[in-house]
């Protein structure tokens, strides 16, 4: 599913400075600042860099962590999971499988009432919402 790889210069031209920092350099937006933290409309969340469908709104839940949270991607092959030992702790990074952009991290075993006890903690700036036709 991987798209043709863009050069760093092409990504810098396509993305805003803040988008580039998160999507291409693995940064994180500040908590509670993203446009989708409190979003309730139905629809599909896509990768802001390449447009790949990543998460469905019916898997989004309020984890009270300051970033949009989902309990699963639309399909397992939509994202890549990488071990991340930065910041002195072990985490699992979530990347778009299509364009390899950084999306956020996934955490397991926190006691969430979903099939995998998972929280995909995703930066709003990594996503765009395509609202469903009947979204309110």
Catalytic (active-site) positions: 121
Measuring CA to CA, which residue among 100, 135, 123 is closest to residue 11? 100
CA 7 from centroid of its chain's CA atoms: 21
Measuring CA to CA, which residue among 87, 99, 98, 38 is closest to residue 66? 38
Helix (H) or strand (E) segment spanning residue 90: none
Q: How many residues are given for the chain? A: 136
Residue with tokens 């409190």: 38
Residue with tokens 């092959």: 77
- Asked if 45 contacts 54 with a C-beta cutoff of 8 angstroms, the reply is yes
């Amino acid at each position: 599913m991987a798209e043709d790889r863009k050069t760093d210069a092409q990504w810098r031209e396509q993305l805003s400075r803040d988008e580039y920092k998160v999507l291409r350099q693995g940064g994180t937006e500040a908590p509670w600042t993203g446009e989708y933290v409190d979003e309730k409309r139905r629809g599909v969340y896509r990768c802001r860099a390449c447009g790949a469908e990543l998460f469905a709104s019916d898997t989004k839940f309020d984890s009270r962590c300051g970033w949009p949270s989902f309990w699963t991607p639309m399909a397992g092959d939509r994202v890549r999971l990488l071990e991340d030992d930065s910041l002195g702790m072990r985490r699992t990074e979530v990347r778009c499988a299509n364009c390899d952009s950084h999306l956020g991290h996934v955490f397991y075993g926190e006691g969430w009432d979903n099939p995998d006890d998972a929280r995909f903690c995703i930066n709003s700036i990594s996503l765009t919402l395509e609202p469903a036709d009947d979204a309110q």
